[in-house]
Chains A and B, each alone.
Chain A
Amino acid sequence: QKEVEQNSGPLSVPEGAIASLNCTYSDRGSQSFFWYRQYSGKSPELIMSIYSNGDKEDGRFTAQLNKASQYVSLLIRDSQPSDSATYLCAVNAGGYQKVTFGIGTKLQVIP
């Protein structure tokens, strides 16, 4: 059973702080890694994709991948109340393969 593990939270951070969201996965053959943001009552929105070890930055978001440790993280700098949402980690074996989603971490940014 291929699994993606996340702490469901909630993770509470003050406005302006760095939010750190973590994810581990069980399938060593995984090639593609994603972070989705899902606001309450809305569908998931892809915010970051990462395919190789290291960091990938996009604005206030940084995704980090460590395949040896089977670990993916998402850092959100200068957190804003509008970042309050559930963040889903997702993993697949590459190409048009099935994507497996974690349960998501609920982030609350406190003004």
Chain B
Amino acid sequence: SAVISQKPSRDICQRGTSLTIQCQVDSQVTMMFWYRQQPGQSLTLIATANQGSEATYESGFVIDKFPISRPNLTFSTLTVSNMSPEDSSIYLCSVGAGAVGSEQYFGPGTRLTVT
């Protein structure tokens, strides 16, 4: 499985500011995904990021709030813009892998607190 790193591991941010989360993979992957996990809840997919194309956002998530970049096959960023306390969550990136491409492997996550 791929080795995935995320930066920062945690941050405390002021309301109205933006934070960019980086996800780095040690091998080239076609698909990268960004999830949010709020306390006591399961994973919610924010968007799917393919290299060289616009990210595909899930219902309830918009590009203006969560812009994503995917400049190459090993790196992606997620920005959480104009933050509010409701954005406090763990943000996880994952990569698609495995023989059929559907297995997903997760980075360690970024714990975001908005005050």
Chain A: residues with CB nearer than 8 A to chain B? 31-32, 34, 42-46, 49, 51, 88, 90, 92, 94-99, 101-104
Contacts and interface: CB of A to CB of B under 8 A. Distances in A.
B98 to A, nearest CB: 7
Interface string B40-58: 0111010010000000001
Most buried by B among A43, A46, A101: A43
Interface residues of B, number: 23
A103 B43 CA distance: 8
B105 A46 contact: yes
B42 A45 contact: no
Nearest to A33: B102
B106 A49 contact: no
A96 B96 contact: yes
13 contacts: A43-B106, A43-B107, A43-B108, A44-B43, A46-B104, A49-B98, A88-B42, A95-B101, A96-B31, A96-B102, A101-B42, A101-B43, A104-B42
A98 B45 CA distance: 8
Contacts of A44: 43, 92, 106
B43 A94 contact: no
Nearest to A49: B103
Interface of B: 1, 30-31, 33, 41-43, 45, 48, 58, 92, 96, 98, 100-109
Nearest to A99: B104
A99 B101 CA distance: 11
Given A46-B1, A88-B43, A34 B103 contact: yes
B54 to A, nearest CB: 16
Contacts of A32: 100, 102-103
A94 B42 contact: no
